[in-house]
């Protein structure tokens, strides 16, 4: 049986991983540090986004984050600190939430086209897990909270950079370990 490398459909074997990464993102929402000067708390959720993008196929990475977002929209307490609902989804942190499926998809898409080494995976995590998320999240925060772009950068990006770099390093280490353990025969490749 020949393995297809370029497919956009979701295989049955990917479905448990979609649920797993949606659940992981929800669990990581409870690792939260509120910041007094920002409506955006520090959470471990972007670590889950980076892991999904580093490990899953593009379709599975995208769907894992969409499932997570839909769980929050329907009222399950999966957003930062147990928040939920459409108001949270469209609130000041909404742009960050909305960026996660996009970031995970782009990361996974790039991962399928590169040779996975520490530096290449780290760069993908920085691109998707920091740059894409910040770009969408900060612009949305500025619009919704009526902040100038510099003020939105201070409230929604600058305080998070050190932690997100640590998350990118951690995600890279975990993804590389999983890839080595499965010798690139992980069900998602």
The whole-number mean pLDDT for each consecutive block of 10 residues of the chain, a chain of 189 residues, reads 52 90 96 82 93 95 98 96 94 96 97 93 96 97 96 93 95 92 64
State the fold for domain 14-181. Answer: Arp2/3 complex 21 kDa subunit ARPC3 (1.10.1760)
Dist. CA 144–CA 10, nearest whole Å: 34
Give CA–CA dist 100/48, Å, rounded: 10
Q: What is the pLDDT of residue 72?
A: 97
pLDDT of residue 13: 84
pLDDT at position 18, please? 95
Q: What's residue 185's pLDDT?
A: 61
State the DSSP H helix or E strand holding residue 43, giving kind and residue range, or none if neither: strand 42-43
Asked whether 4 and 189 are in contact (CB, 8 A), the reply is: no
The β-bridge relationship of strands 32-33 and 42-43 is antiparallel
Of 54, 30, 58, 65, give the one whose Cα is nearest residue 44: 30
In whole angstroms, what is the distance from residue 79 CA to residue 69 CA? 8
Ramachandran bin of 184, using left for φ above 0, alpha for ψ from -120 to 50, beta for the remaining angles: left
């Amino acid at each position: 049986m020949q393995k297809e490398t370029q497919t956009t459909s979701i295989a049955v074997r990917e479905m448990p991983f979609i649920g797993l990464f949606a659940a992981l993102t929800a669990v990581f929402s409870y690792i939260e540090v509120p910041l007094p000067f920002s409506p955006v708390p520090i959470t471990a959720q972007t670590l889950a986004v980076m892991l999904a993008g580093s490990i899953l196929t593009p379709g599975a990475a995208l769907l894992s984050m969409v499932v997570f977002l839909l769980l929050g929209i329907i009222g399950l307490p999966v957003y930062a600190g147990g928040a939920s609902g459409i108001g949270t989804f469209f609130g000041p942190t909404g742009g960050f939430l909305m960026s996660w499926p996009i970031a995970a998809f782009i990361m996974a898409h790039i991962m399928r086209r590169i040779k996975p080494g520490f530096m290449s995976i780290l760069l993908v995590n920085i691109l998707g897990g920091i740059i894409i998320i910040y770009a969408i999240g900060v612009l949305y925060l500025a619009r919704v909270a009526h902040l100038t772009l510099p003020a939105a950068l201070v409230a929604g990006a600058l305080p998070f950079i050190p932690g997100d770099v640590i998350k990118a390093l951690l995600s890279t280490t975990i993804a590389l370990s999983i890839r080595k353990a499965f010798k690139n025969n992980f069900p998602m490749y």
